[in-house]
A and B are shown apart, each in its own frame.
Chain A
């Protein structure tokens, strides 16, 4: 694949040119896409981890009724492909979506104006839909190893729950947090099916598809794929080297 991206000819792999990489660096169009991908991935990663931490906390510490059912529900989206996640968001936030209609009923505005499924907001929720369960997967494993004695000691010494969490629990789950960050950020960068249906933000993977679908510019697509691969590889490597994160999917 990397070989193809340096190829001169369009339909056969021969010659050597950096034209397609030059294109990627010089053309502001691609720069915009790269920036889109990164900030959107970063934002969704941070939000989904922020949500996953309290959820994992509740699952680990509280006595909940129907805990195994909750666990099943929470891990179910892990096995759904991106297109289905997108469909779920249309069900919730589309023109006939349930939440759209509830909001419309309360605010008295037309549901069509309120539907956000195919806007960036809807895409944000769609990303969360597939990312929260993945973050949970790792965080629950981390929480299982948290030393509860230290937490109880902190509590009985007069720390508030928030202080206990901040100074006792958080340092213990830090490797898990970093691991979750790496995993979820990679997931965010790789999302393609969701974006193919909702199409509200031009990200790297969608552009790769467009390069092929419109004009079969496979050399450009390969160049983009190579860059993607290189970036994720380096990112994972650095994250694993400079932190003590334990990534085990």
Chain B
């Protein structure tokens, strides 16, 4: 250790420099979040910093609805989005778990292709939205389109979470002992494999739910009338409402993410928390 050459420039300043970048990045990423949250309690923001603490008018406007501008309350949007996202997650569990299982357990032709397609979300929201508008014109104004779109867009996250859980299990051995004890294939899958992967499934569901509840691009293209999903509500607030109201609306969303992060930590899936 002591024999390290300490005379060069990078030995003396390299570490400080790298740390500086780290600190700058952390500040760049976290400062606006904090500011937004703090300012949502402020009465006005005219100077460099918000002032007039502590008021709940902005939160009141967001939670109760104002009747002007972004006129619906967050409650209905949140509930609507939550419902849509739950439906999307249910589809994802039904589709994602078998896919993850097949890829992790079996060797078949095109396996790596399935893997690539399942994991890479190839079409982003806006592209998928356009596809939906014309492929199913009757559906596109209803919540069904949103549900299907959410599940398609977020399926990769489910597959990844479940797959990492499957990969840490000795699938073949578990399956063979269960089968040799007389359980049918379906019973093995449902009562042995799935419960063992519970952690991955729960983590995957939480991640999919959050991402679906926050999905904007697809909702923006497809949504046309009725209760706006949460992301559209945020968009309306950011573009049409006063700055501090928007800050409160965005803060509602932050709280949601924070809750989900805590939920993930309770489930104990550290990897999933990082990934989110």
Contacts and interface: CB of A to CB of B under 8 A. Distances in A.
Interface of A: 1, 4, 13, 51, 54-55, 57-59, 62, 64, 70-84, 86-89, 91-92, 96, 98, 101-102, 105, 125, 128-129, 132-133, 137, 140, 155-156, 158-163, 190, 192-193, 196-197, 205, 208-209, 212, 218, 221-222, 225, 228-229, 232-233, 236, 240, 247-249
Contact of B4 (A51, A76, A156): A156
A222 B130 contact: yes
B3 A1 contact: no
Contact of B30 (A76, A212, A236): A76
A129 to B, nearest CB: 7
Contacts of B247: 91
A189 B4 CA distance: 45
B211 A98 contact: no
Query: Which secondary structure dominates chain B's binding surface?
Result: helix
Contacts of A70: 22, 26
B134 A205 contact: no
Nearest to A92: B32
B188 interface: no
Given A58-B22, A76-B261, A83-B234, 9 more contacts: A54-B18, A55-B21, A70-B22, A72-B261, A80-B214, A83-B216, A92-B31, A98-B49, A208-B130
B231 A81 contact: yes
B25 A51 contact: yes
B253 A197 contact: no
Q: Most chain-A Cβ atoms within 10 A of its Cβ — which of B257, B261, B274? A: B274
B14 interface: yes
Given A58-B22, A79-B214, A102 B48 contact: yes
15 contacts: A1-B134, A58-B19, A62-B19, A64-B22, A72-B273, A77-B29, A88-B33, A91-B35, A96-B48, A129-B29, A161-B14, A192-B217, A209-B220, A212-B221, A233-B122
Contacts of A62: 15, 18-19
Contacts of B250: 84, 87
Given A55-B25, A79-B210, A225-B130, A161 B122 contact: no
A105 B4 contact: no
B14 A91 contact: no
Interface string B82-118: 0000000000000000000000000000000000100
B45 A96 contact: yes
Given A88-B33, A160-B8, A192-B217, A209 B21 contact: no
A102 B49 CA distance: 10
Contact of A98 (B19, B35, B215, B234): B35
Given A83-B238, A96-B243, A51 B214 contact: no
Contacts of A86: 238
Contact of A229 (B31, B123, B135): B123
Given A98-B48, A160-B11, A212-B221, A218 B36 contact: no
A249 B119 contact: yes
Contacts of A81: 214-217, 231, 234
B274 A75 contact: yes
B253 A132 contact: no
A69 B18 CA distance: 18
